[in-house]
Chains A and B, each alone.
Chain A
Amino acid sequence: MNQELKQEIAELKQQKTSQMYLTWVRFKRNRLSVIGLSFVLVVIFIAIFAPVLTPYHPYETDPFNRLASPSRENPLGTDELGRDLLTRLLYGSRIALQVGILIVLFEGFIGISFGLLAGYFGGWVDEIIMRLVDILRSFPVIILAMAIAGIMGQGLFNVVLAIGLVGWTTYARMVRGKILSIKEADYVEAAYAAGESTVSVILRYILPNVLPTAIIMVCIMMPTALIASATLSFLGVGVQPPLPCWGSIAAAGRDYIIRAPWISTTAGFFIMFTVLGFNFIGDGLRDAFDPTSKRN
């Protein structure tokens, strides 16, 4: 083999950039998605360093200082039990992230697995899974989740279960649809014609083309999960007091909306901030994963 060619190949190997890196480059170019990422990073930072950021404990009540206005000691005032509101909101990010991540993992795992099965195998497997999806989707999510919480009792894991039980159907539908289109693609047929095994076709041709969709789904479903869990808490069937949860803080503040409007509004702001962050990331990822968008 001539030396020149070897040299050229070696140079190309260095030039070769990974797809992960290209995705990051495209993601970075979208200003909104970078803003979203920073929002989420802020929330994660708060969740990790909450004890350092505030001198109070979220359960620490002060009966003589109830519903206090914002002041130097309590920057956002106190709630109806005299607990520092900012402290509770900061600690609330832990609950929000925990619930959000658990829900998304739970429903994502079930939904993507079922979607894969239904899409790849088709036939009666598809029929059974998709009819189950149809049935579950005909229930109003929040009412169903309330019923589940009512039967099984309240608590963090039951919230995850209640929301995930219906939530996975969105993933299953999306992934199934994607697989149906990929399965029929010429490049899959070409792979079989070249002699690829079924396992290899799934791992090298189908999964890599479904994965971006699944990741985007997770990021887009995250805010939905957060809002759903906040709604359950707001309705009083979610995460239980005294755990600091944004939804229940907003619900508690509702009774004092005239006297202490900052309670509900700040809790709402925290929810909005986090949800917005994940939404922006989801949008940015969708563009970044698209291999047809131009390389910079």
Chain B
Amino acid sequence: MGSTLLEVRNLKKHFPSTAGWVKAVDGIDLKIEKGKSFGLVGESGCGKSTLIRVMLKLLEPTAGQIFFDGQEITGYSFKEMRALRKEMGMVFEDPHLALNPRMTVFDIISRPLKIHGLARKKGDLTVQVVELLQSMGLQTEHMIRFPHELSGGQKQRIGVARALAVEPQLIFLDEPTSALDVSVQTKILKLLEKARQERDLTFFFISHDINLIRVVADIMGVMYLGKIVEIGPKELLLDDPHHPYTRGLFSAVPEPDPDHSITEIQLTGEVPSPVNPPPGCNFNPRCPHADDRCRVEEPEFRELADGRRVACHLY
């Protein structure tokens, strides 16, 4: 086991709304190991994106603690965070919205380098940008282009280059491929994997696409309604999902191998509103195994013998 790079404890983010507090992130515990790729899967609206933004302190957490490299950063001011941003990069979902339309590609990629004073020498800044572009499979001439002159795939490569520019330790990837064509998706994923191996990076992926997480993750987490229901090594979760929601989610994915079968659970009903999550286990209204205890007592997020953690009374 490597050391923990980022850890959150009981992290919460509630937003005010006219109907009450929206509990977008409602008590998350997780650890991201150095050099590993963590993939978090969950339906749209389960709070994945909010979680990333709170972990990056782009949003202030309502409660809980965040540790980066052993240091608690929960109370860090805007200024203190700025220095730390060198260590954490982010790639956004929609490449068309993530690049400033009034900056050239050169400006977009060189800004992080300038902010953190990482331009090696004055004249070298251009060379640094070109190297980054080339490592992303782009050409030198893209430097002078504006985002609208590029394709979606090219823009996402720029987005990745921007995140990699300051050589961070940890990269957050907010559905980095869901806005792209399938053929382009593969290319971006290959680039990311190559960068991870070359630069010894740690990844935190979120996606609603299990197949994507299946490909990229070492450790897999499943999120439902603001909470993580199951975390564990990818193989473990894929072969033998424990939590009824995890099982339901996996049964929804078409299985290409007819010999491989997992216990089918048909998910019924709708996701409850995060303003009024059900008492007890928040999955109980949709769970086929729910009993009286599930409707009252919230299950503990406990660690099992095989190394996974699951929040369910069944285990």
Contacts and interface: CB of A to CB of B under 8 A. Distances in A.
Interface string B135-155: 000001101101011000000
Interface stretch (B95-103, B235-243, B253-261, B286-294): B95-103
Interface stretch (B85-93, B189-197, B203-211): B85-93
B126 interface: yes
B82 interface: yes
Interface string A1-34: 1000100110011011001000000000000000
Interface residues of B, number: 41
B296 interface: no
Contact of B162 (A5, A190, A200, A205): A190
Interface residues of A, number: 30
Contact of B58 (A1, A189, A209): A189
A195 interface: yes
B140 A8 contact: yes
B126 A9 contact: yes
B201 to A, nearest CB: 16
Given A190-B90, A195-B86, A1 B98 contact: no
A296 interface: no
Interface string A48-80: 000000000000000000000000000000000
Q: Does more than half of chain A's interface fall in helix, strand or loop, or is it mixed?
A: helix
Contacts, number: 86
B116 interface: yes
Contact of A205 (B78, B100, B166): B100
B127 interface: yes
A241 interface: no
Contact of B102 (A5, A13, A15, A209): A209
A194 interface: yes
B115 A5 contact: no
Query: Which of A15, A193, A198, A208 has the most chain B CB atoms inside 10 A of its CB?
Result: A193
A157 interface: no
Given A15-B144, A205-B100, A194 B126 contact: no
A187 B159 CA distance: 10
A9 B106 CA distance: 11
A64 to B, nearest CB: 64
A194 B127 contact: no
B51 interface: no
B141 A12 contact: yes
A196 B111 CA distance: 8
A194 B100 contact: no
Given A9-B127, A195-B81, 19 more contacts: A1-B127, A12-B141, A15-B144, A16-B104, A16-B144, A186-B93, A186-B97, A186-B98, A189-B53, A190-B90, A190-B92, A190-B98, A190-B162, A193-B85, A194-B112, A194-B166, A196-B111, A209-B102, A291-B148
